[in-house]
Structure formats: C-alpha cells, structure tokens
Chains A and B, each alone.
Chain A
C-alpha cells in the first residue's frame, strides 16, 4: 500500500495481502490467548498448529465461532463494505456473537440449525436471507456520547445497520438500565443483590457504573437536549428489541445461546493492577 501511494484504491486495500494478514493475525491472537490461558489453567481445549506462525510449533485453540466488531469486506458490486459493530450473517459460519453487558454474558444468535449438533453448533447463515446482526450491546454515556454513537453509525447505510438503529430510532424507558450513584456506591454492597453472580464481573460493573453513573435516575428521553451529563446506560435486548429484530428478518425460532459468565479477566483489571504495582 505504501509503495503504490496515491494509486492505491479502496478495493486494493480491502483485498491486499497486508489486510488479510492483519485480520488473520488478530484472529490468531485471540485463539492463542485462549490456548495459553487454558494451558495455564489446565483446561482441555481443542488445539491446532498455527500454520501462519513464524515459529512452526506454535499452537492455538480451534475457534468454535468468531465475530468481528469491525471489518472490511469486498462486495460483488465492486464496492467495499465497512462494518462497525454489526456482522453479516452470510459470513457467519456458526452463529453470530453479540457481547452484552458484562453481567449478561455473551449471546450467540443462531442461524439455520438444519443438520447440526444441537449441543455445540449454532447454525450457519440465517436461511437464504442476508441479515446484519449486532455484535455488541450499545452503550450510551451522555448526550455527547449518544450523538457520537449516532455518528458512528450514520456513516453506514441505514439498511446495513438497521439492527443497531432499533434503539436510536425507537427509544423508550424500558430499553435502558437505570443507574444512580447511590446504587453503585461500592461501599454499599447491600443495595445490589449479587447472589450467584461472578464477583469480578460485579466489581467491574460497579467500577464502570460508579465512574459513569448519573446522580439522578435517568431514562433516554424523547426531548432533545434533555439528557444530563455523566449518564451511563447499557441498552438491553428485551422483548421489544428481539421482536424488532425478528421483524427485520432474524429467524427467532432458531433461538440463541446465552453464555453465562463464570470468571472474566478484563484488560482494565490487569492495567489497574499493573499500574498500582
């Protein structure tokens, strides 16, 4: 890319070997991380040799499924598609992953389940239709962030990110989690029932909420300019949202798999620990 300079086009970048290597390397990075962690913890994980590694004996985990938050794809009509926090179902080889709020775990929306193992496979593309699925539960911090969120997706074709616009176009109080500073006060553990939940995840949740929470209960309002600063919202996939996704083509009868967190190590945990030591 650097050698050809101004002659380099979007199509060249999208199809370039350099870009394919970066996509592959990021994927292999995740598989290597999982392999290393499982090996250190003594957990059995399916593995394979990393054939693209310089060191030929490098091993990595075999991915059951994978979804990218950001991607560039070459289209048939001589276009390059930019995907941000959504994925194409026709590219999904085993369900479509959506990362929810930390305490909600990870959801995998199923595709067509014909002829697959019900206990491990999540289905291929959603039938014959091409759909775009969200890859993460959107977060809104305050008005400015809300605008930035809209801006992020405003560069996309409305149809392309329609799944994400469910919340932007049809907000209502039940779409948001109420957060109040008093509720997330880390010194007051009795205000939140954490029975049966992962302590690390709850701690991460409280830490984030405490930093971002608003002083008063807060809803996404329909009045422009009415959103106070420092508000933080995790948008949730409730019945209304799932129904909206169904109307847009997601075969809800195929179902979804909700992975429940047992233990989770966040980058922020390690960073804070490293900084303090």
Chain B
C-alpha cells in the first residue's frame, strides 16, 4: 500500500504489531560442539525453556513502553517547528536532522518475547565446492508489544485530533 507523504497521519494503517520481525544470528560454535548439543537435545530444550522463563519473568517496571523508554530529547525537527500566520505548523524534516545525535533510550528496559513470537536454535549444513560446514543459528521472532501498542494508540489519537480540528 502506497500512501502519499502529505496525506494525514491517520491514513497510515499502523498495526499493533508494527515492526514485528525475525532476526537470525549465526553462532560461533564448532562442528563438534554442535554435534554434542544435538546428541543432548533434551538437555538443550530444558535449558532453552529455562532461559526463556527467566527472561519472561521480568519486572513489570522494566517492560519497554513507548512513553517511558522513547528518547527523551526532542528531535531537532520539533525544536525548529514554527506556526505561520494561517496556523499551519512547519517543522524540519526528521531525515534532515538524522545523524545529528544518537537516539538513546530514555530509560532501561528488558527484552521480552511477544505473543506469536518464538526463539529457537536451528542448524544447517552449508555445502559448497570450496567447503562444507555445519552451522548453528539462533532465530528470534518478536517485537515490543506494549511499546508498539502505545505507538499505534498515539497514531489513533492523531486521528481524533484531526477530527476535532
């Protein structure tokens, strides 16, 4: 779906799981180590389950939320915003100010697995004429559920504001 850039913000269908995605990381494990893990699958599953349990029993205050953890400093685009005689707000495009300062979380947050998310260990035999190797991968599908939901709500609030205006 292509939306004109100058369309109202509420024209964007922002879902509650925006930026849900998958990350693959190749582990630095040797073949003998991978084989050893594969021979003790039950132990590996138990340890994986235990690790996820520990991660998910996080302190509620540390859960990532958009309101609490988003960068606290105003971007330059907002610092340079102005309103003209007709009441229209003009501000510097954020891409013009990109790179001016790193985007730092305002508060600490703990990682979490989202609904429909998973984290798993996978393997693959890479074969090529030059070399063959057994590699192990960690795969994670997740997003920040509370932060994304808050952001979607904010987008809907913009819609409400637009209706009021």
Report Cα–Cα, A265/B51, bound state, in Å.
Answer: 10
Asked if residues A26 and B144 are in contact (CB atoms below 8 Å), the reply is yes
Report Cα–Cα, A65/B135, bound state, in Å.
Answer: 15
Q: How many residues of A are counted as interface, with CB atoms below 8 angstroms from the partner's CB atoms?
A: 101
Asked if residues A265 and B52 are in contact (CB atoms below 8 Å), the reply is yes
List of B residues within 8 angstroms of A265 by Cβ: 48-49, 51-52, 113, 118-120
A interface, by DSSP: helix, strand, loop or mixed?
mixed
Query: In angstroms, how far is the closest chain A Cβ from the Cβ of B62?
Result: 11
Asked if residues A34 and B21 are in contact (CB atoms below 8 Å), the reply is no
Report Cα–Cα, A69/B11, bound state, in Å.
Answer: 20
Contact of B131 among A70, A119, A257 (CB under 8 A): A119
Q: Give 1 or 0 for each of A232-253: 1 = CB within 8 Å of chain B CB.
A: 0000000000000000000000
List of B residues within 8 angstroms of A99 by Cβ: 22, 141
Asked if residues B21 and A69 are in contact (CB atoms below 8 Å), the reply is yes
Asked if residues B111 and A62 are in contact (CB atoms below 8 Å), the reply is no
Report Cα–Cα, A40/B93, bound state, in Å.
Answer: 43
With A15-B94, A106-B122 already in contact, the answer to whether A7 and B89 are too (CB < 8 A) is yes
8 A Cβ contacts from A127-158 to B: 135, 155-157
Determine the residue in chain B with the shortest Cβ distance to A81.
B2
List of B residues within 8 angstroms of A72 by Cβ: 12, 14, 18
List of B residues within 8 angstroms of A40 by Cβ: 47, 50-51, 54
Report Cα–Cα, A156/B25, bound state, in Å.
Answer: 30
Asked if residues A262 and B140 are in contact (CB atoms below 8 Å), the reply is no
Determine the residue in chain B with the shortest Cβ distance to A46.
B28
Report Cα–Cα, A19/B103, bound state, in Å.
Answer: 11
Query: In angstroms, how far is the closest chain B Cβ from the Cβ of A82?
Result: 4
B interface, by DSSP: helix, strand, loop or mixed?
mixed
Asked if residues B24 and A5 are in contact (CB atoms below 8 Å), the reply is no
Report Cα–Cα, A12/B95, bound state, in Å.
Answer: 9
The stretch from A50-58, A164-172, A178-186, A213-221 touching chain B is A50-58
Q: Which of A44, A58, A119, A260 has the most CB of B within 10 A?
A: A119
Contact of A106 among B2, B24, B78 (CB under 8 A): B24
Query: In angstroms, how far is the closest chain B Cβ from the Cβ of A245?
Result: 19
Asked if residues B108 and A55 are in contact (CB atoms below 8 Å), the reply is yes
Asked if residues B27 and A26 are in contact (CB atoms below 8 Å), the reply is no
With A66-B21, A259-B137 already in contact, the answer to whether A25 and B2 are too (CB < 8 A) is no
Report B's interface with A, CB cutoff 8 A: 1-9, 11-15, 17-29, 37-38, 41, 44-45, 47-56, 64, 66, 69-71, 75, 77-78, 81, 88-89, 91, 93-95, 97-98, 102-109, 111-124, 126, 128, 130-131, 133, 135-144, 147-148, 151, 154-155, 157-158, 161-162, 164-165
Residue pairs across A and B with Cβ atoms less than 8 A apart, 25 shown, are A13-B14, A16-B94, A17-B103, A20-B98, A25-B69, A26-B144, A29-B64, A30-B23, A32-B111, A33-B111, A33-B113, A34-B140, A36-B51, A36-B111, A45-B27, A45-B138, A46-B28, A52-B102, A55-B108, A79-B2, A80-B3, A199-B45, A263-B48, A265-B48, A266-B118
